[in-house]
Amino acid sequence: MKKIINDFALLICMSLFVISCNSTQGKNLVIEKPIQAIDTTIVPPQRIELLDSSEAYWKNKLSEEAFTVLRLKGTERSFTGEYWDNHTDGVYVCKGCGLPLFTADTKFESGTGWPSFFKPINEMYIKNINDESHGMVRVETICARCGGHLGHVFEDGPAPTGLRYCLNSISLNFIANAKIANK
Ligand SMILES: [Zn+2]
């Protein structure tokens, strides 16, 4: 009798084991949605609608580091960002609102350790404003749509503009191999 009970208990244990295995396999069998082919042609907006979001919105949307730079005008340490040494073709968009800002073909080696560009996709997409903080007189560059701090612009860049947009990687997202429509 004792053996029968033991055998019965063993059977239950084995059954539970099989059920749990099956349920695990079931989870593994969930088929993820297939990844859609991404259209890498970005159609730039013809006009900019200002995005006036609250601090709480940005805190929720951005990482702490991105919030510090984009919303509090911080600066990432040089040679530490994701894009200063990025040589892939593509489009850089605002991390705050996704507005396309710069293309890889206007990026150049500035030696500063920050991604540097000589020309935005459209002058309308950025705003340059005087910045006299930290005891310096500089021109700050912000995203024209969301007001996010991107970096500064200096007049020691290469031809044809002579400008150097010195930006924080963390203010940007990079879409590899994307193209701007009609460019
Ligand atoms: Zn933006």
36 located within any domain: no
Domain assignment of residue 130, given as a range = 41-180
User: Is the peptide bond between 160 and the residue preceding it cis, with omega within 30 degrees of 0?
Assistant: yes
Pairwise CA distance, residues 166 & 76, whole Å? 11
70 and 118 together in one domain: yes
Q: Dump pLDDT digits (tens) for 92-106.
A: 999 999 999 999 999
Percentages helix, strand, coil for the chain, rounded to the nearest 5? 30, 25, 45
pLDDT given at position 182: 77
80 and 153 together in one domain: yes
96 and 121 together in one domain: yes
10 and 87 together in one domain: no
| CATH number of the domain that residue 85 is part of | 2.170.150.20
The question of whether 166 is a catalytic residue gets the answer yes
Contact between residue 91 and residue 174 where contact means Cβ atoms under 8 Å apart: yes
Percent of the chain with pLDDT over 90: 75
Q: What is the mean pLDDT of the chain?
A: 86
Q: Dump pLDDT digits (tens) for 41-98.
A: 999 999 999 998 999 999 999 999 999 999 999 999 999 999 999 999 999 999 999 9
176 located within any domain: yes
Cα of 81 from ligand 1 centre, angstroms: 18
20 and 100 together in one domain: no
Cα of 98 from ligand 1 centre, angstroms: 6
Pairwise CA distance, residues 84 & 109, whole Å? 8
23 and 109 together in one domain: no
18 and 56 together in one domain: no
Cα of 42 from ligand 1 centre, angstroms: 15
Catalytic residue among 94, 143, 146, 166: 166
